[in-house]
Amino acid sequence: MELIGENRAFGGRHLRYTHKAESTQCDMTFAIFLPPFASKEKPVPVLYWLSGLTCTDQNFMQKAGAMKLAAELGMAIVAPDTSPRGEGVPDDEEGAYDFGLGAGFYVDATQAPWNKHYKMYSYIVDELPALIESEFPVTKERAISGHSMGGHGALVIGMRNPNKFVSVSAFSPISNPSDCPWGQKALGRYLGDDEATWKDYDASLLLASKTHSVLLLVEQGTKDEFLHEQLKPQSLVHAAQQSDTQLTLNMHEGYDHSYFFIASFIEEHLEFHAGHMGLI
């Protein structure tokens, strides 16, 4: 790893690193916030945050206002980048914001040319946690959350890996990517035309099939410009009813898709995860 940035915050440390990732076959960047007094003698649990389209490791760390409460709770936060990057990593040929660089969708691509580098699912589930747990004073207790495309990733990864994540939450997630333009474009190009291969990366389909054992917390603003065409939280509600699963969906009048929304309710999510981690 190479340290590329360091800041003090609320008595803890915000650190940025690059490292050579085997899963994505390129250099990856991540940020980590370590609360005060985190040490080998007193390791802390970790919240993984997955960001949305066009974002990097820095959007959440700089805009969400999460570090003060994380410092008080004794919780580390890890924010990875949203896709592989670098020389030789393919991008959308037309430079679209919703596919390619910045838009990895947290899947393991199977279609060329994306299948060489776009292995974000394996990176988040296996490679990054192994690195974090070997290099930093953290426990193996993990939670996961995210926003928009990252909310999709958090729900999918959390439901598919209940033995690895103690709690799962999301802000404005792409809830049913098989049935929205963003998801159909991404899954079709990363995974191919056979929609049967998409189900493992569709939170609503996973929820309906009851292949999980985790409680889910979701926040959604009513004035989100992507609500009806892209996000479709009602798909999650219907799926939870089908599988008799506890889903808490909080609809917030007047809130949009921005980090103003995330910052308004991030503390509730930190406390939700802290409760499952035994911190409160």
The dihedral over CA atoms of 79, 109, 149, 156, expressed in degrees to the nearest 10, equals -80
Q: Is the peptide bond before 113 cis (omega within 30 degrees of 0)?
A: yes
Tell me whether residue 224 is one of the annotated catalytic residues. yes
Assess whether 117 carries a catalytic annotation: no
Please identify which of the residues 117, 212, 257, 273 carries the catalytic annotation: 257
Query: Parallel, antiparallel, or unpaired: how do β-strands 216-221 and 247-252 relate?
Result: parallel
Cα distance between residue 78 and residue 119, in whole Å: 18
Q: Is 179 a catalytic residue?
A: no
H or E element at residue 203: helix 203-209
C-alpha closest to that of 78 among 11, 23, 10, 154? 154
Among 148, 169, 172, 235, the active-site one is: 148
Q: Among residues 57, 81, 202, 224, which one is catalytic? A: 224
- Cα–Cα distance measured from residue 90 to residue 82, given in angstroms and rounded to the nearest whole number: 14
- Nearest Cα residue to 48 out of 197, 151, 135, 199: 151
Give one DSSP letter per residue of 77-123, joined into a string: EEEE-SS--STT----TT--TTSBTTB-TT-B--STTTTTT-BHHHI
Cα dihedral across residues 150, 168, 40, 36: positive or negative: positive
How crowded is residue 225: how many other Cβ atoms within 10 Å of its Cβ? 12
By C-alpha distance, which of 73, 72, 52, 62 is closest to 31? Answer: 62
Q: Looking at the annotation, which residues are catalytic? A: 148, 224, 257
